């Protein structure tokens, strides 16, 4: 039935004025951030002269610093942290409803139990496998998320997705967003350091610590204990005093240039980067000098293990990560596992075939040094301000691959990550996969939710932290993401 739309001239003018008044009031409330659920962009006020200076968060943060421990190659959750009694019970049988399942690398065989026993750990009784006996001792300090889901089952794009929120290259990494938003209190060190595995880079390489469309100054600085930063030492034959005078002269020239072009933010940012590089020539050698560590510390980490040089090198990377956090570096990204083209993940956690042999090798490299790092952070009181995040790009199938030998295929339907330290409940478990560990079924979490929660713990609203790029307000979580408030302490 049609409504009567006849309206007097006076009524029309009255309605129009009322509508315009409402629009004006809404605009004023929006500008003053008084509207409910106002997602108005908040962009950091960055001084061109001090682009790396510490900046305030959006609200009171639970954590000041973050350590991301990334296992490249997709660690099998059902062999490490996600205990499934039904998988043990039905091992050797087809997975119900998935008898003809085709996944990333082909058809699937029967269910297969974990090759490592799970045991209750700590007072919480959390079930963790014997693959990580040392890490398992810290179960009561951990907050597990067992219901993560991914977007792509290809390693490189999945790594990029986990590190940037997008599966395509060209987007800023989590560390770069935080570097841009918060700056650093460590004036002589980068705000964001990536520590690649001693065997090489992860498959997505610099995507994991790149700045994308953010200013290049906020990308991660990559080095490790085996391969320190290049060009730190002064040229051969140049005395230290002379080197210092050269730097002072360059600084004076740069300042003179800046005075001639006031307001040139690109010039001032470049000068600030050069000056940070000069300060790093003095600070980095001290950070890399492990001779100051006690023999007991080196032994505890496994950094003196001559029988396993790869483990010893990774252990030194763990010590380096602790030292950087001690010095106030905002974001440290520690990698375990490196990509080897054509080698079926020989140097990482890619377990398509011979999973037991590969995981025993990688577990021995990863477990002791990582557990020692976590224990060290706890004993030194660093976890009061530091959030630790362990993650991988996706999980593994509970079935065996039909065309491979004793391996598990990629699984983006459900996998595990855990957090530890500032701002998170512990011991705590959130979400779950089904009875076999195949799909997330309870409190499903996608990577955007994961990122939103990490930003929240650092005092950042993921919906408001935006960067204007080609006419679009870009953010880490794209147009998605919800904070997992249930895990926040």
User: DSSP string covering 371-409, please?
Assistant: HHHHHHHHHTTGGGTEEEEEE-S-EE-SEEETTSSS---
Q: Band of the pLDDT at 58, cuts 50, 70, 90?
A: very high
How would you class 117 by CB atoms within 10 Å of its CB: exposed for 0-12, middle for 13-18, buried for 19 or more?
Answer: exposed
Between 256 and 122, residue with greater pLDDT: 122
Average pLDDT estimate for 279-289: 82
Write down the domain spans for the chain.
65-228+293-487, 231-287
pLDDT surpassing 70 at residue 95 = yes
pLDDT at residue 345, rounded to an integer: 54
pLDDT at residue 236, rounded to an integer: 73
- 256 DSSP 8-state letter: H
Mean pLDDT for the chain overall: 89
Average pLDDT estimate for 100-115: 90
Q: 293-352: per-residue pLDDT in tens?
A: 999 999 999 999 999 999 999 999 999 999 999 999 999 999 999 987 655 556 999 999
Quote the tokens at residue 334. Answer: 């520690």
Q: 314-329: per-residue pLDDT in tens?
A: 999 999 999 999 999 9
The span from the CA of 473 to the CA of 463, in Å, is 10
Between 16 and 2, residue with greater pLDDT: 16
- Cis bond upstream, residue 289 (ω within 30): no
Average pLDDT estimate for 395-421: 93
In 10 A of CB 154, how many CB atoms?
Answer: 16
Average pLDDT estimate for 460-466: 97
pLDDT at residue 456, rounded to an integer: 98
Say if residues 270 and 277 touch (Cβ distance below 8 Å).
Answer: no
Lowest mean pLDDT among 21-30, 260-269, 469-478: 21-30
How would you class 32 by CB atoms within 10 Å of its CB: exposed for 0-12, middle for 13-18, buried for 19 or more?
Answer: exposed
- 77 DSSP 8-state letter: G
pLDDT surpassing 60 at residue 426 = yes
The span from the CA of 290 to the CA of 68, in Å, is 22
The span from the CA of 489 to the CA of 484, in Å, is 11
pLDDT at residue 480, rounded to an integer: 96
Shortest CA distance to 196 belongs to which of 333, 388, 374, 387? 333
Average pLDDT estimate for 229-233: 67
pLDDT surpassing 80 at residue 430 = yes
pLDDT at residue 398, rounded to an integer: 97
CATH 3.40.720.10 fits 65-228+293-487, yes or no: yes
pLDDT at residue 171, rounded to an integer: 97
Say if residues 82 and 437 touch (Cβ distance below 8 Å).
Answer: yes
Average pLDDT estimate for 248-273: 74
Between 62 and 29, residue with greater pLDDT: 62
Helix (H) or strand (E) holding 467: strand 467-469
The span from the CA of 217 to the CA of 300, in Å, is 36
**Terminal alpha carbon distance of the chain:** 56
Average pLDDT estimate for 194-223: 94
pLDDT surpassing 70 at residue 235 = no
> Is beta strand 445-446 parallel, antiparallel or unpaired with respect to 142-149?
parallel
Average pLDDT estimate for 93-115: 90
pLDDT at residue 208, rounded to an integer: 97
Q: What percent of the chain has pLDDT over 70?
A: 87
pLDDT surpassing 70 at residue 91 = yes
Q: What is the DSSP string of 449-460?
A: HHHHHHHHHTT-
Q: 38-48: per-residue pLDDT in tens?
A: 578 999 988 87
Quote the tokens at residue 192. Answer: 């964001």
Q: Which residue has the tokens 């001779």?
A: 291
pLDDT at residue 33, rounded to an integer: 47
pLDDT surpassing 80 at residue 241 = no
pLDDT surpassing 90 at residue 122 = yes
């Amino acid at each position: 039935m049609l409504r009567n739309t006849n309206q007097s001239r006076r009524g029309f003018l009255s309605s129009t004025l009322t509508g315009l008044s409402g629009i004006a009031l809404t605009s004023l409330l929006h500008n003053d951030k008084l509207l409910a659920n106002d997602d108005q962009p908040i962009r950091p006020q960055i001084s061109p002269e001090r682009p790396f200076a510490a900046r305030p968060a959006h609200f009171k943060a639970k954590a000041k610093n973050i350590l991301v421990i990334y296992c490249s190659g997709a660690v099998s959750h059902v062999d490490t942290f996600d205990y499934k009694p039904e998988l043990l019970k039905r091992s050797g049988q087809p997975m119900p409803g998935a008898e003809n399942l085709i996944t990333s690398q082909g058809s699937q065989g029967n269910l297969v139990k974990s090759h490592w026993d799970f045991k209750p750990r700590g007072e919480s009784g959390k079930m963790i496998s014997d693959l990580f006996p040392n890490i398992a001792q810290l179960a009561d300090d951990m907050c597990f998320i067992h219901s993560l889901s991914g977007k792509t089952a290809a390693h490189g794009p999945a790594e990029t997705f986990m590190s940037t929120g997008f599966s395509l290259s060209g987007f800023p990494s989590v560390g770069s967003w935080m570097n841009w938003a918060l700056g650093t209190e460590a004036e002589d060190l980068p705000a964001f350091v990536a520590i690649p595995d001693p065997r090489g880079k992860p498959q997505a390489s610099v995507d994991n610590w790149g700045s994308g469309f953010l200013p290049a100054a906020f990308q991660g600085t990559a080095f490790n204990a085996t391969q320190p930063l290049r060009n730190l030492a002064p040229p051969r034959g140049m005395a230290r005093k002379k080197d210092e005078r050269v730097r002072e002269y360059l600084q004076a020239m740069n300042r003179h240039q800046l005075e001639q072009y006031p307001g040139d933010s690109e010039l001032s940012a470049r000068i600030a980067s050069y000056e940070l590089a000069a300060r790093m020539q003095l600070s980095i050698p001290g950070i890399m000098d492990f001779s100051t560590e006690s023999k007991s510390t080196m032994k505890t980490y496994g950094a003196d293990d001559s029988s396993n040089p790869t483990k010893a090198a990774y252990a030194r990377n763990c010590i380096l990560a602790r030292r950087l956090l001690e010095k106030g570096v905002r974001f440290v990204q520690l990698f375990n596992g490196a990509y080897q083209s054509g080698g079926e993940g020989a140097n990482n956690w890619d377990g398509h075939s011979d999973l037991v042999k590969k995981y025993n090798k990688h577990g021995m490299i990863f477990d002791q040094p990582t557990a020692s790092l976590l224990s060290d952070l706890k004993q030194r009181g660093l976890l009061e301000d530091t959030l630790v995040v362990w993650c991988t790009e996706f999980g593994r199938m509970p079935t065996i691959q039909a065309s491979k030998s004793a391996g598990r295929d990629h699984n983006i339907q459900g996998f595990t990550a855990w957090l530890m330290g500032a701002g998170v409940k512990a011991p705590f478990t959130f979400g779950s996969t089904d009875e076999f560990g195949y799909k997330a079924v309870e409190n499903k979490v996608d990577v955007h939710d994961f990122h939103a929660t990490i930003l929240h713990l650092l005092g950042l609203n993921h919906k408001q932290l935006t960067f204007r790029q080609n006419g679009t307000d870009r953010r880490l979580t794209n147009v998605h993401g919800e904070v997992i408030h249930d895990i926040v302490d």
